[in-house]
Amino acid sequence: MIIILDFGSQYSELIARRVRETQVYSEVLPYYTSVEQLAKLNPAGIILSGGPNSVYDDGAPICEADIWDLGIPVLGVCYGMQLMVKQLGGGVERAERGEYGKASLFIDDPTDLLTNVEDGTTMWMSHGDSVTQMPEGFELLAHTENTPAAAIAHHEKHFYGVQFHPEVVHSVGGLALIRNFVYHICDCQPTWTTEAFVEEAVREVRARIGDKRVLLALSGGVDSSTLAFLMHRAIGDQLTCMFIDQGFMRKYEPERLLKLFDQEFHIPVHYVNARERFLEQISGVTDPEEKRKRIGHEFIRVFEEESKSLGPFDYLAQGTLYPDVIESADTNIDPKTGERVAVKIKSHHNVGGLPKDLRFKLVEPLRKLFKDEVRNVGRSIGLPEEIVNRHPFPGPGLAIRILGEVSAEKLNILRDADLIVRQEINRHNVYSEFWQAFAVLLPIRSVGVMGDQRTYAYPIVLRFVTSEDGMTADWARVPYDLLELISNRIVNEVRGVNRVVYDVTSKPPGTIEWE
Ligand code: XMP
C-alpha cells in the first residue's frame, strides 16, 4: 500500500487514484497522522501531497519529522517536496517568478524516478516557492526554465521530490513517473484489481455479518446495484434488498432495475410501490425546499414501515464511497462497539437523519473505492452500461424537474420528453460527453400552432451541461441538428408540449437542476 499524506491539496485524491491506476492500493491520510500509526500501517511508500501553503507560513501543516527515519521511500509533490527539503535542512524561498501551468521538463538524470519520462516532456506546475538549496545527499534529477530544482532525489534513502504535479492529466510523463515510484522504488506488485477487490470484500462481509440479517435500499444507481450484488454474493438470502419506488424515476427505470435483478442476477428485490403516497405528500406544494423535505420525510416513513415489517435487521448496507470516507471525520462511530452507525442515509435520499430507534449498524463494502473503481466492479459483475455510466440523478428525481406543483399528468409529460432526450443522445453516441442532459417542465403555458390549430401548452427546457464534479458547470455546446431533432420529436410526440427551449446558463450563476 502507498499512503498519501494530505497537506490540503485539491489533488490529493487524484494522486491516490493515479496510484490505484497502477493497480497498487493507496489511501489518503491527514498530514498529522502520527509516525507510529504510519509505521503500523507499514506502507511500501509515502507520497506527500501539495498544498496551498508556503512552508514558511505560520501554522503551515507539517508532518512529524520522524517520518524521515522510517526507512520508507517518500515522494514529495510540490508543497510536499518543499517540506521535505526544509525538514531535511535544505532551502526553500519565494521564487522570483512563480510557475503556473505547463512547463517543459529537462532531465538531468534519467535513472529510477524518471525512467521512461521523455526529456522535454510537459509537466504541470503550480507554485510560488522554489527549492534553492538541496539538502545533503540529494541530487538533481530535472529542471525547467524557471525552476532549477524541478525534481530531486536522495537515491540511497529513496527520498524524491518533484516540484510539478505528476498526477494531473496535463503532465504528460506523470503516470510513468508514478509507476516508477510504486513499482521500482517502492517495489509494489500490481495486485489491486477488480477481481481481487471483489474476493476480499466478499470474504470480509462474510466474516463480519456471520449469520445476521442485512437490509439494503436499492436506488437503481451504480453504487447501490454493485453493493447489492456484492452483498448477495457474500451472504445470499440473509440480504434483503428493498426498492422504494416514489414515482419520480425516469420512464422504464423501475421496471428495468427489477428485471435486471430478478432475471440476470437472481437477487430477489422487495418492491415497494409508494407512488401514490409520495405524490399525495407533495400535492399542492410549489416551494422546492418544501418538496425536497416532504419527499425526504416520506422516504423515512416508508423505509421505517417496510423495514419493520420485513425485519428485524442487524445491519444496513450502504454504498459509502472512499471520497465520503476521506471527507467525513468519523464522528459516527458507536463508542461501545467501535462500529459505524447510520445517522444519515446517503444524501441522494435527501433525508436528514434516521429516527433514533431505527439505528442500524452499517456495512459499507465499497468504502475503499473511488467512483470509477465502483464502475469497474459494476462492469465486471455484468451491470449494463446504462447503469454503470448513468448521469447523476437527484434523489427527489423528476419531482424537482417539474417546477412548481407536481401532478401525475406532468410526470407523464416529463417522463416522455426525458425519454426522447436519452434516446437521441444515446443514438448519437454523445451520452458520455455530458455531465447531465435532461428535460425540465415549466409550470407555464405558451401559445403555439400545430396543423391549423392554436395550441396552448407547456414548454420543455433542455438542460445539457458539462462539468468535472457538479460544483461548477458549463452549458454544453450541442450541435444544432441534434437540438432540432430532439425538439421536433418532443413537440410532435409528447402531448401537452408545444415548445422546447435550451438553457444557456453556466453554474454559477445558475444551478444544474432548476429547483
Ligand atoms: P445543482 O442543481 O445544485 O446540482 O447545481 C448539483 C448536482 O447535484 C445534483 N442534485 C441533487 N442530488 N439530491 C441529490 O441527490 C438533490 O436534492 C439534488 N439536487 C441536485 C444535481 O443533479 C447535480 O448533479
pLDDT tens string 233-283: 999 999 999 999 999 999 999 999 999 999 999 999 999 999 999 999 999
- Determine the Cα–Cα distance for residues 495 and 497; give it in Å rounded to an integer: 6
Whose alpha carbon is nearest atom 15 of ligand 1? Answer: 348
Pick the residue whose CA is nearest to atom 10 on ligand 1: 394
- Give the pLDDT confidence score for residue 352 in this predicted structure: 43
Active-site residue among 63, 78, 186, 241? 78
Q: 468: domain range?
A: 407-502
Query: How far apart, in whole angstroms, are the C-alpha atoms of residue 384 and residue 221?
Result: 11
pTM above 0.90, yes or no: no
Both 48 and 177 in one domain: the answer is yes
- C-beta of 511 in contact with ligand 1 (< 6 A): yes
Q: Is residue 128 part of a domain?
A: yes
Burial class (CB in 10 A: 0-12, 13-18, 19+), 442: middle
What is the 254 CA–ligand 1 centroid distance (Å)? 20
Residue at 304 is within a domain: yes
Q: Are residues 357 and 312 in the same domain?
A: yes
Closest CA to 297 of 317, 318, 282: 282
Is the separation of the CB atoms in 229 and 221 below 8 Å? Answer: no
Catalytic residue (one of 127, 143, 158, 165):
165
Other Cβ atoms less than 10 A from the Cβ of 484: the count is 11
Distance from C-alpha of 83 to C-alpha of 60, rounded to nearest angstrom: 10
Residues 108, 216 share a domain: no
78 is catalytic: yes
Please tell me the predicted confidence (pLDDT) of residue 128: 87
Q: Which residues contact 31 (CB under 8 A, 6 or more apart)?
A: 5, 6, 7, 8, 48, 49, 51, 61, 62, 63
Check which CATH number belongs to the domain holding 126 and give it: 3.40.50.880
* CB-ligand 1 contact for 208 (6 Å cutoff): no
Residue 64: active-site member: no
Among candidate residues 159, 183, 150, 148, the one with its CA nearest the CA of residue 87: 159
- Within a domain: residue 37? yes
Give me the pLDDT at residue 328, please. Answer: 63
User: What per-residue confidence (pLDDT) applies to 111?
Assistant: 87
The answer to whether residues 310 and 231 belong to one domain is yes
Q: Is residue 312 part of a domain?
A: yes
Residues of the chain with pLDDT under 50: 329-335, 340-352
Ligand 1 atom 4: residue of nearest CA: 512
Identify whether residues 370 and 280 lie together within a single domain. yes
**What is the total count of domains within the chain?**
3
Question: At 229, which helix (H) or strand (E)?
Answer: helix 222-235
Give the CATH number of the domain where residue 383 resides: 3.40.50.620
